[in-house]
Structure 1
Amino acid sequence: MPANQNNAARRYEKEYKGILSTVFGVRAAFAGALAQIQILDGVQENAKAFSLKTNNTPVVIGTYATGANDGGFGDGSGANSRFGNLTEIKYENTDVEYDYTLAIHEGLDRYTVNNDLAAAIADRLKLQSEAQTRQMNTKIGKFLSDAAGQTEALADFTEEKVKALFNKVSAYYINKEVTAPVAIYLRPELYNAIIDMTANTSAKGSSVSIDNNGLARYKGFALVETPAQYFPSGTIAVFSPDGIVIPFVGISTARTIEATEFDGVKLQAAAKGGTYVLDDNKKAIVKVTGTVV
């Protein structure tokens, strides 16, 4: 943290960025589904976070023509090219927008804070980063649920229904030819229902541990028990390949300014955040709906 130069305003963008990045890396829910969080300080764009080069040209698989009149051979009445029709490939700029805000507004009075002011500011930035990470977890949970290209309903947590769900989703991923590792982020109630299934036995090669309430994988999917509060209402689980979602935060300001109402400083920060996934990858996200009794 910079040395105090008795300035009326002190900047803390870099410190806030570093703390938020570290805390998010440790406490992020849905961590496997996320690419590394992108955090910028001193952002100037008020809406656009960044641009991506995207391409929506479908893949066309043709056949190589070898007829006597193809490719300009013979009488020239065939196709112009033996490779078939020419498809032009172009990329477009896709702007990614911020979709939520983060803010800090706290006061530290030298007369009452009962701690070194710089140490207190560092503590508050860390605690704020933890709180804002939890807020981002909730945003990411809703984003995954909304972005899912496939929805499956689970009527109840009986073993028969749970096995049928996993079999159906497994077939879905195989048919979609998804080759990336896939994890299921699930509420504790569904996680425990899987742990308690009688089919998970050592005779079938299962590594379930009742002592530690643990099961690493089921039907080829990594199981990640996730706090219920990070799922939107009605969503009880989300299947997602690893690393396909990009979370990002742009820090507009993080500062302390001398207060006139009391003997101390006001700690203020403003940031904008969002989450992004390519449209083509949304079909690789499956959400499970149901009711927890």
Structure 2
Amino acid sequence: MHVLVAGATGVLGRRIVPRLVAAGHRVTALTRRPDAAAELRAPDVTVVSADVYDRDSLTRVVVDAAPDLVMHQLTDLAAVDLSANARVRRIGTRNLVDAVHAAGVRRVVAQSIAWVYEAGEEPADETTPLDATTDQPRRGTIDGVLALESAVRELPEWVVLRYGLLYGPGTWFAADGSRAADARAGRLARGADVSSFVHVDDAAAAAVAALGWPNGAVNVVDDEPAAADAWVPVFAAAVGAAPPADAPDAPRAGWARGADNHFARKHLDWTPTHLSWRSGFATL
């Protein structure tokens, strides 16, 4: 199969491309930064460049590549700017999907997130509605995800990967990442809010597996949703930060409920290598 990976030099894209090649696929690696793509160059990889905000240029590149499938791994998180990332989800996705239509491609696999579900008591599964009632700044994130997933569903064949919080090399949750800096500065607080995590290598493996998955959204998370009271001390220790101070008692935000991976585990035969952030953080 010929796969075009949009966002090929991102933290996930650069892990996905070699996995696709190893699985026997031909890859067109789309990036706005061709200078950052040296490590991706290989006999079965063609590097192309386009700005996802330049609709006409992006369309020409996708049409000329003529892939069988497009994988959307576009993000803008290097500066920890959530509004910039929401803009990529809204406008970048719209332009990419329009280019996919123009190229006659039928199938897209796209990156989304697993912490956008409505409030509830248990970890959310894929049947849980997305949160439509929140205020800013969460509203901007929700709007970006809604725009992304709506655009992708226009295709005859589509898979949306709702990733948990990514950790591992190159992410915010790495020894040299922004959350490690927060932990060392005492800014990473304990609390009742629940999160789900996934190691970047497990997330990349899921993206490759998703080439053969049926239409739908899939939670790509590990087996252990956890409150910050549980995971923050473990993360702090893993990155050499002092133990966090006790947080004042506060109720859990209703939407901070974590996500359930039962569907991927039972029906798609996807199992994360790192079953829990507990063992995964130890690799940092």
TM-score (ref. length: structure 1) = 0.22
Greater Rg over alpha carbons, structure: 1
By percentage of residues, which structure has more strand? 1
Comparing both chains, which one has the higher relative contact order based on Cα–Cα distances under 8 Å and sequence gaps of 6 or more?
Answer: 1
- Structure with greater helix share of residues: 2
Q: Structure 2 length as normaliser, TM-score?
A: 0.23
